[in-house]
Structures are given as structure tokens and as C-alpha cells.
Amino acid sequence: MQDTPDPAPDSALPSASPSIAPLGQTVYLAPDGFVDDLVAELGDVAAVDGRLVFADGPARPAAWAQNIWFDPVRIEIGSIKGGAKALRGIQRNWALWSQRHHRRAALIQDNLPHVSAKPVVFPSPLPTAPLGSWTLLDENTIVAAARCSSPFRHGEVPFVENRTAPPNRAYLKLWEALTLFGEQPGPGDRCLDLGACPGGWTWVLHELGASVVSVDKAPLDPAIARLPRVEIRQESAFGLKPQDVGPVDWLCCDVICYPTRLLRLVRDWMDSGLAKRFVCTLKFQADTDHETARAFAAIPGGRVLHLHHNKHELTWMWPAV
């Protein structure tokens, strides 16, 4: 849809106060390319508008939502300044999801306090300032939620990247997972990295000061293999028994396998009681295995989510914060 021309001065527009009312729905922002997965997970939805999915009632668990807008309101506005004033009257910080009427939406956002979108230096704590999300449904209608599931703009976690040391970009997934976890391994911690090749996750864990048992049938990148606190086990992650490894503070798994097989591995480790924390990637083949994703979500105390740096995969973390 093309933008419609905006009226020139706001003084020519009605000056009545904006009308604000509960939307009666929850808005879910799907990751790019995964709207169908989000709709399949939610089931009954009211509308799909680009990457925004509207569903009646309060928020439901949604692993395939990059961000969830809780208790959104509908704001009828008569001007750009009136829209900005209405948003400022709710709270300070807002992130625009520009769906249509892009120029008008940008002008409203320009009249709001600036919110920094600087890349995150890992490790850093989660932002604590409330950040709402809003969009224009049409020229005179805002949908806005003061509270969202992610403290980051649209659920996107941009990092100041290290483009030299890690052997691949998979390290960004673990950076993001640990940032959202709110806790990271450190000196004295013992970590298990399953499916480690070429070593991006092992590099992250080692950089944080932990010792790492790195498991893969394929060899690690030589630079990672030479790191001082890395123990290499060149074997299958699925042939390794928890008792053969012993207690670990963190079990991290980015192994390529069917999610059902990963679920069996996780259950074995949980039954053993030898792993304190888990960060595991559920990698899907042609079709998304929603049944197994629900099985992971049903594990008490855990959390399943689609990271900004995930592709056709989900991340399971336990325990959840």
C-alpha cells in the first residue's frame, strides 16, 4: 500500500483529544519469514497484517513471536502532534513498527523522545527501561502497547560483532540466548558444548572464563582447539552418557538433529541431574515440528523462543528467568 499525502500543517486538523480504548486483542510480531509458523502455533487468530498477527484475548505462549504486544490500545488521532502527545501520555519510550503511512508514522516518532538503538556489547545486562511498540493501522488510527515481551526494539538484539576470532556466526545465537537468560558462565564453571564444530559456541563459553568440554565427531577449528580450557571429545553427542561427563554448570547444544532426538537427549540429562542449566537449539527440517516444540515448552521451568539470530529453529532454555 502506498502512503497517502499528509496534510501540511497540523493546525488545519481537528484539535479534539485523541480517543483511547483497549483493543481487546494481543498483537504478535512474527520473525521475518515465519508468519505461518506463528499462526499455526497460535491457532485461532483475528487478522494477519504483514508480520503482525492479531489474536483475541490476553497473550498466549508463542515461541514463534519475536515480540508480543501486551494489552494494546487503539488510539484515534487527528494529527501528527496529537498522536505523539497521546503516546507520550502513556509512557516515554516507544518503538515504531512501520507498516504503512510510513512518512506520517516517522513524523509521529520524530515527535517522541529518542530511543537509542546502539548495538549491544556482549556481555551486557538486559535493558530495564520500559519500551512500547506502536504502528499505524490507517492514517488516523494507532495501535500501541506500553508493555512488550522483549526489552529490545521489535525483539531484535543487534550486537557489536567480533568478525575475527569466532569461526562462524553461530556465536551470535549463544550471545543472544545468554543475554536473555540474564546469566552467563564464568570462571570456575564447567560447560558442555554438544555439536561444537567448528567451535563458535565453545569460543563464547571460553571467552567468558569457563572451561569447556567440546563434543563433535568433526574436528574443531584449529584456533579454537588450541584454547587452554577446552577439552575435546571427538565423538557423537548422542553416544555420550551423562555419567561419562559428570556434572556441568551449562549444557549447550547446537547439534544438527531432529528435534525428537534432541528431546530424548535433554530428558536423559535432566533425569541424571548432572546439568544445572540448558541452552539448546531445536533445528527443523522442511517442516516445523510443532508437536516436539510443544513438548519442550511443556518441560516445567523452561522457555522456548525464536531468537533474532535463529533461522528455521527455536531455542530452549532451562531454567527460564
Give the residue numbers annotated as catalytic, written as ranges: 283
| Residue 56 DSSP one-character state | E
Contact 13, 33 (CB under 8 A): no
224: phi then psi, degrees, rounded to nearest 5? -75, -40
Contact 34, 20 (CB under 8 A): no
Angle subtended by helix axes 259-272 and 290-297, to nearest 10: 20
Amino acid at 125: P
C-alpha cell at 295: 513438548
Three-state DSSP string of 140-177: CEEEEECEECCCCHHHCCCECCCCCCCCCCCHHHHHHH
Write the DSSP assignment of 59-119 as a string of letters. Answer: ----TT-SEEEES-EEEE-SSHHHHHHHHHHH-S-EEE---S-HHHHHHHHHTS-----PP
Nearest to 73 by CA among 18, 34, 6, 155: 18
The β-bridge partners of 76 are: 19, 141
Tell me if residue 319 falls in helix, strand or coil: coil
Contact 83, 18 (CB under 8 A): yes
The reply to whether omega before 185 is within 30° of 0 (cis) is no
Contact 25, 45 (CB under 8 A): no
